[in-house]
Amino acid sequence: MDNLENNENMNENIDETNENINEETIDEAYEKEIEAEKLVEFDGESEGMELSKVEQEYGADEIQVLEGLEAVRKRPGMYIGSTGPRGLHHLVYEIVDNSIDEALAGYCTKIDVVIEKGDIIRVTDNGRGIPVGVNSKTGLPAVTVVFTVLHAGGKFGGGGYKVSGGLHGVGASVVNALSEWLEVKVCDGEDVYFQRYERGKIVTDLQKIGKSDVKGTEVRFKADPEIFKETTVYDYSVLERRLREQAFLNAGVHIELRDERDLENIIQNNFVYEGGIKSFVEYIHKKRSLEVIHPDVIYFASRNADDTIAVEIALQYNESYNENLLTFANNIHTTDGGTHEEGFKRALTYVMNDYARKFGKLKDNDKNLSGEDVREGLTAIVSVKLKEAQFEGQTKAKLGNTEVRAMVDRLMRDKLSVYLEENPAVAKVIFEKALASSRAREAARKARENARRKSPLDSAQLPGKLADCQSKDSSETEIFIVEGDSAGGSAKGGRDRRIQAILPLWGKMLNVEKARIDRVYGNDKLMPVITALGTGIGDEFDIAKLRYDKVIIMADADVDGSHIRTLLLTFFFRYMRPLVEQGHVYIAQPPLYKATKNKVDYYFYNDADKEKFCLENPRCDIQRYKGLGEMNAHQLWDTTMNPDTRILRQVNIENAAEADRIFSMLMGDEVPPRREFIEKNAHYANIDA
């Protein structure tokens, strides 16, 4: 803070941090807000990151009603995002989150999640148990209110919870509404209570069914196939990732996941991490086999003077070129970031540049390091827990509390500055990596400018091998990125010239997972793709400039074709991610076989259909297509390019963090995790002898 006003060079270059933070967050008022923030030291590990234990009684009247439930079944997507696999697993998360909230309140230490036969979910915790007394506003037992009334819960300002992820009071009732049936058992330390619901409606009154000296809640439910028409089968690995994440975020809480669908082969995992988010960072590096450049995870924790906000930060740098910043608010993964992410990014950039100026790492005439530079190779977890969390929408993807930004910023400036001064060796390797990134970024800028100078226009001329379409309406156009000149020739001859463009690629493509952005510019395989799409890459990417609505990768159905698809997808994910996130990237599916009978051609896209045809037509001639170039223009149009008959697979990102991990593993330098992945998933592949 002492150098802030005098460091004009730093402030002049603030725009180069590319954080997309509103200017009001960096003005004088913001600096005063940071300065005024009072932090209280605490040990995040031993104290488990929860705020002080709730002392007020958690009784029936703590369940406050806001209001209704049939709307959930009519528009489930509004509450759980989708009725596909993502929404199905979200049901489990909602119930588990209620148990996690009990842990945050200081009462729950053990959570069991079981997938029973028939894909029935059972979640049990040893918290206080949902209140069973009669709620005065509704005249119903409080547990009944929780599961049958929308916007009802103990988290609207009553004393039942100080911190919680569930703030809208819809979680339990939504799960109930979207379940074929749901059963709840509550143990209050004396009696056991039971109630059953079907499709959100009460089937049995709340009744005592036994005695118990323990406390806790058990919820069993079966997702309704009328709602989840695509599937009601749970993916163990998806639940495993989510529950492991929750265990990292709540140090010391024991979460057990068990798959009992096959009683002869029960799968089980136990998650408990005393190291909390420090262990999370270590796990990420170990899982991805990333080499760290300094031995210890840097860790800070604090809470505000009012004991309403607690912040935990863990970070460590590795040798990769990619950043992995995960932010959480009340244990909820804020995938769209928010104020805690803004505070972290800004403070990190400030501290690194302030340190570099203070110790002569950057000269007076040197430009500041950008946000991208200081975050290259960074793995960081930012976890905040607060009493009055403000999320944007029910999905809770973005945190909006402005006071959190100042608190995170203050913590980073105070603690990271001291850490770097006390650990000069660590500071040196981090700074050298950031400086190398800055040099690569400058080299990329020069390469980009050189490419532009080749054309009298602002952007480079379209690639010579591009056969562009006639239409200039990007909403209807599509570009096929084709493997090889031979296939490119067939594609050009068979296409719809009005809306379909063809860009042939050849030779070995750059693996961008192992390269900085400066190597992308000027690459003879990638530059044609960049110029054809028109969006730019990296921090210059602008989706509004996209020239084609559909970007279709069309490669041979063999190992080389799979390799090219993977390299292109890696490039899009790392440097044009919005292209994927907004659903513009597709993979064409050419046929594997052509069968001819009585001079009529039949095409098959999988072995099963081909085998069935051959059994019914034993004298037919079968041709296995090894490459797109084996098809003439007419055949390629009929099978792969005709919008009325083709099969396109849209590429999407269900889980950005998991996608990042997969790309790092498959395309990175480390062989062991890639070998493990191949061995585990080889049975899914169809490989021709």
> CA 426 to CA 609: how far, in whole Å?
59
Beta bridge partners of 303: 40, 310
With beta carbons less than 8 A apart as the criterion, state whether 435 and 376 touch: no
- Provide the terminal-to-terminal Cα distance of the chain, rounded to the nearest Å: 66
Residue given tokens 């958690």 in the structure block: 58
Residues labelled catalytic = 483, 556, 558, 560
Long-range contacts of the stretch 670-674 (C-beta < 8 A, 24+): 670/288, 670/289, 670/290, 672/289, 673/287, 673/288, 673/289
> CA 498 to CA 620: how far, in whole Å?
37
With beta carbons less than 8 A apart as the criterion, state whether 121 and 184 touch: no
With beta carbons less than 8 A apart as the criterion, state whether 89 and 234 touch: yes
Beta bridge partners of 602: 595
With beta carbons less than 8 A apart as the criterion, state whether 121 and 260 touch: no
Q: Is the dihedral of CA 399, 402, 403, 407 positive or negative?
A: positive
Torsion angle, alpha carbons of 531, 533, 538, 541, to 10:
120
Residue 84 token pair: 């596909």
With beta carbons less than 8 A apart as the criterion, state whether 151 and 171 touch: no
Residue given tokens 């996130």 in the structure block: 581
For residue 559, count CB atoms less than 10 angstroms from its CB and return exposed for 0-12, middle for 13-18, buried for 19 or more: exposed
HEC readout, 355-407:
HHHHCCCCCCCCCCCCHHHHHCCEEEEEEEEECCCCECCCCCCCECCHHHHHH
For residue 491, count CB atoms less than 10 angstroms from its CB and return exposed for 0-12, middle for 13-18, buried for 19 or more: buried
DSSP labels, 202-269: E-S--EEEEE-S-EEEEEEEEE-TTT--S-----HHHHHHHHHHHHHHSTT-EEEEEE-SSTTS-EEE
Task: State CA 208 to chain mean position distance.
Answer: 43
Tally of CB atoms within 10 A around 83: 19
> CA 554 to CA 490: how far, in whole Å?
12
> CA 635 to CA 440: how far, in whole Å?
45
> Closest Cα partner for 143 from 109, 188, 92, 96?
188
**Strand 207-211 vs strand 378-386: parallel, antiparallel, or unpaired?**
unpaired
> CA 1 to CA 14: how far, in whole Å?
15
What letter would DSSP give residue 512? G
What letter would DSSP give residue 462? P
Q: What's the maximum distance between 2 C-alpha atoms anywhere in the chain?
A: 86
Single-letter amino acid code for the residue at 354: D
